[in-house]
Amino acid sequence: MEKKRKKISIPDKLHYWLMVLPAVVLVFLFNTRTWPGILAAFQDFIPIKGWFGSKWIGMRNFKIFFMQPNCWQIIRNTLVLAVGKIVGVQLLAIIFALMINEVRNSRLKRFIQTFTYLPHFISWVIFATILRQILGTDGLLNQVLANFGMENYAFLGTPSIFQPLMIGTEMLKEFGWSAIIYLSALTGIDPGLYEAAEIDGAGRWKQTVHVTLPGIRYIIVLNGVLSLGGILNGGFDQIFNMYNTLVMSTADIIDTWVYRQGIIALNYGVGTAVGLFKSAIAMVLTVFAYWAADRFADYKIF
């Protein structure tokens, strides 16, 4: 005979509800309460008239974006940068986690970990300023090249290398922080598996391939599928602080275009429409990501 499940009432878990209450209030204030703003995507929005007084124009704002000559170039730039960053950061984080896991000196290990994840806490305003001092036409790297008799190179003004440069700097900034979850997963692997592999004659490389990587494969799959929701996030903070008119052909992404339309040009309706389009795609991909996480990594949020 099955035992009846004990019903959990809200008073029994009141302290948990109180703990999450500040987060719920913040979500309501900054997300839910602003939902009427979506109406601006379908209006010739005029702030003085508000959401319910502006003229309704249907899908015209969406058409304005998709009729832009560089529309698909902007979408392509966004996808290339987003996918490149997701893959690059996660790959480097896995490699770094595997390497640092081999360090036996605990003090050295902690120092390296701290040193590599500190850049995550530096804002892109500061980080971009540092990069410009290094990669600018009069920057440190060009001064080194000049000492070897080489001409200055416009690292930040060459469209063909701008995207690889943005992906590389994102990897440099975030790989240490992203490696934390892999290092945690590595600690959960049974040491007996390594001992058995060593008895069977497996060296460190074979142990990594046949024990370590299979042991963290669910975390790798989970991080991969959960990143799908941000596939249209090219990284506004980074691009906005690094791009210029010389590299617009490869640097302009959806977020920077929306910023120029919505904030600079005051085309609030167009900016809202494109932002809504991006959010809709992100929502679909997020739902798919959670399905894939459940299907391939046995991950459930509820």
Measured between its terminal Cα atoms, the distance across the chain in Å is 27
Is the pLDDT at 227 greater than 50, yes or no?
Answer: yes
Percentage of the chain with pLDDT > 90?
Answer: 16
Domain ranges of the chain: 80-297
Q: Quote the tokens at residue 74.
A: 């902007």
Residue-level pLDDT at 95 = 92
Q: What is the pLDDT of residues 167-226, one digit of tens each?
A: 999 999 999 898 988 988 888 888 888 888 888 888 888 888 888 888 888 888 778 777
CATH architecture of 80-297: Orthogonal Bundle (1.10)
Angle between helices 106-117 and 71-100 (to 10 degrees): 170
**In this structure, are residues 207 and 189 in contact, taking their beta carbons and an 8 Å threshold?**
no
**Count of other CB atoms within 10 angstroms of residue 183:** 17
Task: Supply φ then ψ for residue 29, to 5 degrees.
Answer: -70, -40
The angle at the Cα of 22, spanning 17 to 26, to the nearest 5 degrees, equals: 130
Burial class of 86 by CB neighbour count within 10 A (0 to 12, 13 to 18, 19+): buried
pLDDT classification of 277: cutoffs 50, 70, 90: confident
71 pLDDT exceeds 70? yes
| pLDDT confidence band for 3 (50 / 70 / 90) | very low
List all residues 6 or more positions away from 89 whose beta carbon is below 8 Å from its beta carbon: 170, 171, 174, 175, 178
Of the listed ranges 91-100, 114-123, 241-250, 260-269, the least confidently predicted one is 260-269
pLDDT the model gives residue 1: 43
The average confidence (pLDDT) of the chain is 84
Instruction: Please state, in angstroms and rounded to a whole number, the distance separating the CA atoms of residues 139 and 62.
Output: 42
DSSP state, 139? S
β-strand 43-44 against 55-56: which pairing, if any? antiparallel
Q: What is the mean pLDDT of residues 67-84?
A: 90
Query: In the prediction, which pLDDT does 162 show?
Result: 92
- Does 2 score more than 60 pLDDT? no
The answer to whether residues 42 and 59 touch, using CB atoms and an 8 Å cutoff, is yes
